[in-house]
Structure 1
Amino acid sequence: MVWKNPWYNPALSHHSPDGFINTASVTHQPGDVKRWRNERKAAGLPRPPADGYERFIEQWWQKVEITGDSDGLWWLGHASILLRLQGQYLLTDPVFSRRASPVRFAGPQRRTPSALAIADIPQLDVILISHNHYDHLDTWTLRALLRRFPDVQFFVPLGVGALIRRLGARHVTELDWWQSMIFQGMVYTAVPAQHWSMRTLWDRNRSLWCGWVVESAEGRFWFAGDTGYTPELLTIPQRLGALDAVALPVGAYAPRWFMSIHHMDPQSAVALWQQLGSPLAFPVHWGVFELADESLDQPVKELQLSLSEAAIDNDNFRILKIGQYLPLA
């Protein structure tokens, strides 16, 4: 039987009868994946950080310490963030496993330890999922979180809900781009991203990908998820209002000829941040998994250089250690 998109709306440019698409005409050419893999293998990429993995961990990792009760966040590495807003705790794309993979014995492995144990999370009200790739949706982690917090509310893009419910989740809300829901006094809106989805050989782009804007009494926080740079991202503040804090992806960008469609590099993240009016920002999607050709420390080096070259007159773009706290109040 041919699969048809049950959410298909011909009036929406990111919908297609057989799944979802990016609104910009961006695609890889036949043979690009094989070319990248061959070049990667021939060059022996990715290489270790300049001073080795142990030194990288010493410099860029610390254990999470949860104290106080004011609004703030802890970057847990890669795309995982623990947010505290209005006394509530939220997790984005939580991955606590050793590997980002469908199996436990192969696939990209963590190069930096988990900065927080699930047992040490004081409470959990909401989990936000941006899309279904294994480095963003980890079933082992979600099952463990559901055992500890069985009543947690999930917000996911269209097509991801069935998987989350199979894991035992009781409260799952699926949203399309620009759809919103109010939950416990805060507004959650799924917003566009330029990416793709896939967990098996048979489900490419059958579920949607997105970023999330969370609006509390104190302001709007944007978790961009996985996305390449596109001017469409600027419609987010245009439609929802100015963004007060943003988490922008800066990793898995090399080689740019192949990765730029779906992953921002540090330079495009800085350019987007400036176009947004330079709100409080920090980089994500680096420091844990080696998913592309750059070394683990290359994103932060290029980000520091890009910020320096841009001659920014404020320090609103904060480069955090894994596990570091960033106050939002």
Structure 2
Amino acid sequence: MITILVIIGLLIVVYFLFTSFYPSFGGDVSKERKITYQKSQQYKDGKFNNTLPVPKDLSFSETLSLAYKFFTTKVPNGRPNKDIKAHKIDSASVANYNKDTRLIWYGHSSFLLQIDKKNILLDPMLGKVAAPHPLLGGNRFNKDFPLPLEKLTHIDAVLFSHDHYDHLDYETILKIKDKTKHFYVPLGVGAHLEAWGVPTNKITELDWWQDITLESLTFVCTPAQHFSGRKLNNNQSTLWSSWVIQSKEDNIYFSGDSGYAPHFKEIGEKYGPFDIALMECGQYNQMWADIHMTPEETAQAGLDVKAKKIMPIHWAGFKLALHDWTDPITRVKAKANELNLEVITPEIGEEILVKNNSNTYLDWWTKF
């Protein structure tokens, strides 16, 4: 018994040393910041909350059981049978782009958005694993990217939806922080960026329903039903969100991560219709149904926000659930067809013109 207690004690010490000094865990929200967050309707009892009483707080035994099931369950076709190849784009064509608004998918939930002569990144996560250390996660499905961030000469804005590892990545921030003019994040997420060397004056934190302008563009921080945290002792310390991105000509919705809930209809009523909605579709399971949508719910959410077309995201990047890696795209297409909702399925790196009404994308995932 003494030996077991000593081992447990050592593990606890190692954990706190690891999370305190390894930089990828990010920063901690200060007491001063917490005081200002009390003005937010989402901030109660020292943490951020969803409008509905979710997610359910798991007990220690439930957490261990969930972790054991995830790491021991063999999933048939859980990963592509080979590396997903990305379409390459020329750095000069990006630097000199001055045409209709377009998106370039980097896989999972990451995008380059070129709009009104500006380069904007959405949840740029180009790390190898969605974890604080390479040994703690499986490799992403695509090794290469449409255009390495090193070749992206300038970034006007970066928008983050929340602080989870598959959306906010330490190594990626190091690559972009000096060439990015400004970061826009939900409340609290700025603490991580500051810990990684981003100046405070280059960060704007927003609460749900707050908006801000960047010259001709408007960014609106809108609700999502999810959660946050990068280590065991800072869960719910930062807010999560979706985003509305508007120009004079275009209206774009980026869902971030979210379970299906009434906020989609509310966003649609306030800011729709959208030319395109980038909708979370993947990494779902009945055990966490309140924080990630099933593909059928993704399609319905697309209707709720009044999207003219949707693009499923949050799939084809990492194995973070127990489903077949093509299950999300197969099911969402079937449900969207039933609902008479257009779904586009570009390959990683393939140009997506926001106002393009033709859908010529192929079922590319069948090659992998």
TM-score class normalised by the smaller sequence: 0.7 to 0.9
Report the counterpart of residue 327 of structure 2 in structure 1: 298
| Map of 1:16 onto structure 2 | 44
Aligned-pair identity in percent equals 28
How far residue 296 of structure 1 moved from its aligned partner, in angstroms, is 2.0
1:189 is aligned, of 217, 220, 225, to 220
- Post-superposition offset of 1:47: 4.2
Of the three residues 44, 53, 74, the one matched with 2:81 is 53
User: Does 1:135 find its partner at 2:166?
Assistant: yes
Match of 1:287 in 2: 316
Cα gap change, 1:114 to 1:193, in 2 (>3 Å): farther
- Whether contact under 8 Å (1:127, 1:155) holds in the other structure is yes
Is 2:326 the partner of 1:326?
A: no
* SS state at 1:6 partner: helix
Quick one: distance in 2 between partners of 1:96 and 1:8?
30
Asked which structure has the greater CA Rg, the reply is: 2
Write the deviation string for residues 180-218 of structure 1: whole angstroms up to 9, x where unpaired. 111122111110000000111211101100111111111
Match of 2:6 in 1: none
Identify the structure with the greater helix proportion.
2
Distance (whole Å) between structure 1 residues aligned to residue 71 and residue 127 of structure 2: 26
Superposition map of 1:197-236 within 5 A: 197-236=228-267
Shift of 1:304: 2.5
Give the drift of 1:10. Answer: 6.3
Q: Aligned-pair distance for 1:233?
A: 1.9
1:272 aligned residue: 301
- Deviation, 1:311, is 5.6
Q: Which amino acid aligns with 2:345?
A: I
- Deviation string, structure 1 residues 4-23 (Cα, Å, up to 9, x no partner): 632344672x2213110111
- Corresponding residue SS for 1:239: helix
Paired AA for residue 322 in structure 1: I
The 5 A counterparts of 1:1-329 are 5-9=34-38, 12=41, 14-28=42-56, 29-30=58-59, 31-41=61-71, 43-45=73-75, 47-49=77-79, 52-54=80-82, 57=84, 61-65=86-90, 67=93, 68-70=97-99, 71-115=101-145, 116-147=147-178, 149=179, 151-170=180-199, 171-253=202-284, 255=285, 257-308=286-337, 310=338, 312=340, 316-329=342-355
What TM-score do you get using the length of structure 1 for normalisation? 0.88
Aligned 8 A contact 2:127 2:171 in 1:
yes
Query: Alpha carbons of 1:217 and 1:10: their partners in 2 closer, same or farther (altered >3 Å)?
Result: closer
| 1:58-111 alpha-carbon deviations (Å, 9 max, x no partner) | 6xx433456442211011111101101111010011111111221233323212
Structure 1: distance between partners of 2:327 and 2:89: 24
The alignment covers a number of residue pairs equal to 315
- SS of residue matched to 2:264: helix
Q: Over residues 210-257 of structure 1, what are the superposed CA-to-partner deviations in whole Å (9 max), with x where a residue is unaligned?
A: 11111111122111111111012211132234322210010101x2x2
Give 3-state SS (helix, strand or coil) of 1:182's partner.
strand
Stretches of structure 2 that go unaligned for 5 or more consecutive residues are: 1-29, 356-368
SS of corresponding position for 2:203: strand
Query: 1:37 Cα deviation (Å)?
Result: 3.2
TM-score, length of structure 2 as denominator length: 0.79
C-alpha separation between the residues in 2 aligned to 1:299 and 1:76? 18
Q: Secondary structure of the residue that 2:315 maps to in structure 1?
A: coil
Contact 1:8 1:16 in 2 (8 A): no
**SS in structure 1 at match of 2:154:** coil
Structure 1 residues without counterparts, runs of 5 or longer: none
